[in-house]
Every structure is written in structure tokens, then in C-alpha cells.
Amino acid sequence: MSTVPQLSVVMPIYNEQEALPRTVERLRPILDALGVGYEVVGIDDGSTDATPVLMQKIRQDWPEFRVVRLARNSGHQAALKAGLDRAHGDYVVSLDADLQDPPEKIPEMLALAREQDLDIVYGVRGDRTSDSSFKRRSAGAYYWLMRKLVGKRMPNQAGDYRLLSRAAVDALKALPEHQPVYRLLVPWLGFPSGEVLYVREERVAGTTHYPLGKMVRLALDSIVNFSAAPLRLATWLGLLSFAVCLVMSVYTAVAFAVGATVPGWSSLFMGMLFLGAVQLICVGLLGEYTARIYSAVQARPAYFIGYDSADDEPRENSR
């Protein structure tokens, strides 16, 4: 009969048939050396390559490796949510399967959490030279903006590589978030936290699953899900357009009074273009928030579990 582990490592996996064996090769010795009961929760996010078969083979040789398969591809954050929801450990570490975040930092995270009684330990990227110049600059802009929205509780350059206590995991599970962005939600909890610095490495194999389009979508979800600032921006744009129109009206009246009017369409065309752009921006922002209200009313789950190997095993509590 299996026992409840002290540590869970949640690993979202999508089409990682090349990277996964190398990840397991580095991760397993580190966890075995900890001297604590652990599980590795591999979340197959609807992979279309040989990843599901590979995960089953890994489980045959590694009993602590647990296979959770989502019924369809639901996205990285939904897969991470599925892992947090189903992890059993007293501490839960989230780790991607591409080895850009080194698993060698897990013992340091666990030791820091225990020594200082912390609920959260962030993996902070102290060096991102392995990323392209564009990615470093766009990431820097993202974290700057998020810190403006969330506050200084959000560490700079902290992604989804972190350790959470059982109390923090339970708090996240209790939140009614349909589209969670954990790099904002976790700092928002305000639980005692610490940081572990590491050097971000190059992807061990395969290609990135976060191209520009997904990065933009993550930024949009982060802003809209966590702040009403865009709605206030729409209000200020409306006030600005009104002020510009008022100034143009006064200028036109004065020009007409002194007989300095000149027939032309440029000013009229530019004014109409400006007002139309402001209106479309405002409608677009309102549409984003309305779409999220609609999604919340539907209350559809972020993911569906197709299979969990842990359901085949009885489990007793050893805490």
C-alpha cells in the first residue's frame, strides 16, 4: 500500500518525447538522494507524439513516477492546475520538462522552506543569457508591468518554477479561478516566501512551446484576469479624446471668427480616425472582460482527467 509522499514534483508535459528521457535521467537521482518519500506527477497535456507511450515506460521502471493524462490539450497553466489539484505531497514543486529550470535546485528549495518555515520558495532566474535578446527584453517588460499591477510581492524574473507548501496549494485550489495565471496568483496569496537564484539553461531538446503568440496571450490573460486597469485606461482614452475634440472645436470657432478658415479634409479625416481608434480600443477592452464573465458564468472546468495511474493504487496517510 502506497503512502502519502512528503514531496510532489508536478511536471506539465506536451510533446516532449526528445526531452523527457534526459529530464528523468537528471531528476531521479536528485529526488532519490533527498531521503524523503516523493512522487513525480507527470501531466500529459494531450501530447500527439510518442510522449504518452514513453511516460508509461518510465513508470514501469520508476514507481514514483505517476502518469496523469488530460483528455485533451488544455494549455500549460491548465495542466499545472491539474497537477496541483491532484498532487499529494506536503510540499509541491512545479517543474517544466525542458530542463531550462535545473532540478538540482529542488533540494535547496526544500531545505530553505523547512529551515525558515516558508510556504513559497520561488526559483528566480538570475541569468537569462541562454534566451534570445528579444525574449529577455519582452520578459523584462512583462515582469515590470506585472509588478506594477500585483505589487512588489511578485519577484522579478520568477516563472512557474517554485515550491509550495500544502497550505499554499490548498489556498490556490480554493480560489474560483477559471483561467489561472499562477505566477500572479501565488504572490497574491501573501504567504511567507523566499527565493533561490539559478541560471536559466538552454532547452535540452525540441522546440519551445511558448512562441510569441502564446507569450502575448499570457500577458493579456495576466493583465485582464488580475486587474481592472485596462477599463480605467479606456475611460482615460475617452476623456483624452473628448479634450482633443474640445480643443479642436475652440480652434475651429476662433478660426471661423477671424476669417482664417481654409477648406480641407485632412484635419477632419485625422479627427475621425482618432475617435474611431479610441472607440475600437474601448470596445475591445470591454469585450475581453465580457468574455471572461461569460466564461465564468459557464463554469466549465479548465481540464478533464482522462487517466491517473494513482487511481489504481490504494493510499494510506503517513503524515
Per-residue pLDDT of the chain (319 residues; tens, 9 = 90+): 357 899 999 999 999 999 999 999 999 999 999 999 999 999 999 999 999 999 999 999 999 999 999 999 888 888 999 999 999 999 999 999 988 899 999 999 999 999 999 999 999 887 666 666 766 777 677 777 777 766 666 777 778 899 999 999 999 999 887 778 888 889 888 899 999 999 888 877 766 666 666 667 766 766 666 666 666 666 677 677 767 766 776 776 676 677 665 665 556 656 676 777 777 777 777 777 777 676 666 566 777 888 888 776 654 443 4
Q: Contact 5/39 with Cβ under 8 angstroms?
A: yes
pLDDT of residue 254: 72
**In Å, what is the CA distance from 46 to each residue of 112, 122, 177?**
34, 28, 22
Q: Indicate the pTM of the whole model.
A: 0.73
Q: How many other C-beta atoms are found inside a 10 Å radius of the C-beta of residue 104?
A: 12
Beta bridge partners of 125: 198
Q: Contact 156/57 with Cβ under 8 angstroms?
A: no
pLDDT of residue 119: 96
pLDDT of residue 125: 83
The SS3 call for residue 94 is: strand
What is Dmax (Cα atoms) for the chain?
95
pLDDT of residue 43: 96
Residue 11 and residue 47: Cα distance in Å, rounded?
A: 14
Q: How many CA atoms lie within 13 A of 11 on its CB side?
A: 27
Output DSSP code: residue 22: H
Residue 206 and residue 115: Cα distance in Å, rounded?
A: 37
Q: What grid cell was written down for 211?
A: 512562441
pLDDT of residue 302: 73
Residues 6+ apart with CB under 8 A from 276: none
